[in-house]
Amino acid sequence: AMVASSADGGGSASPLVWESFYWGLVSALSLNIGSVIGVTCLPSKKVRAILMAFGGGALLFALSIELFGRVLHTAEAAGTTAPVWVMEASAVIGGCFFAFLNYALNKFGADFRKESTSKSRFARLRRMLMQRLPPP
């Protein structure tokens, strides 16, 4: 294993290595702490939804910073804004494509994957049909 050494060649790890180790340890422990909390005292559905939304947003933010930060540095080094415009257009097109696929799946039967959603769909269709039928 390679350990960063100090400038004087003493072999001690630099503060950056220890900070990296600390953040790696904190992020690794958070999974275990979260699983213990989830198993021992299950939060309400609302709290779980909030935590899942926060986690998804944090993951998306980290991915965006990782991917888009590189493009911004490359564009700055090259002295052009073309990669930034391509990146922004790709993000918008990707978001629209996701929204379209989500709509298409929900419109054309993706809700049949779960029994509860198919029951609510049939109940909604039945109500619509009953409203349209003339009274006897």
Read off the pLDDT of residues 78-109 as tens digits, 9 standing for 90 and up: 999 998 899 899 989 999 999 999 888 878 77
Regarding pTM above 0.85, the answer is no
Q: What is the mean pLDDT of residues 12-39?
A: 86
DSSP element (H, E) containing 21: helix 15-40
Structure tokens at 4: 């960063």
Q: Is the pLDDT at 114 greater than 50, yes or no?
A: yes
The torsion of the CA quartet 18, 19, 20, 22, rounded to 10 degrees, works out to 90
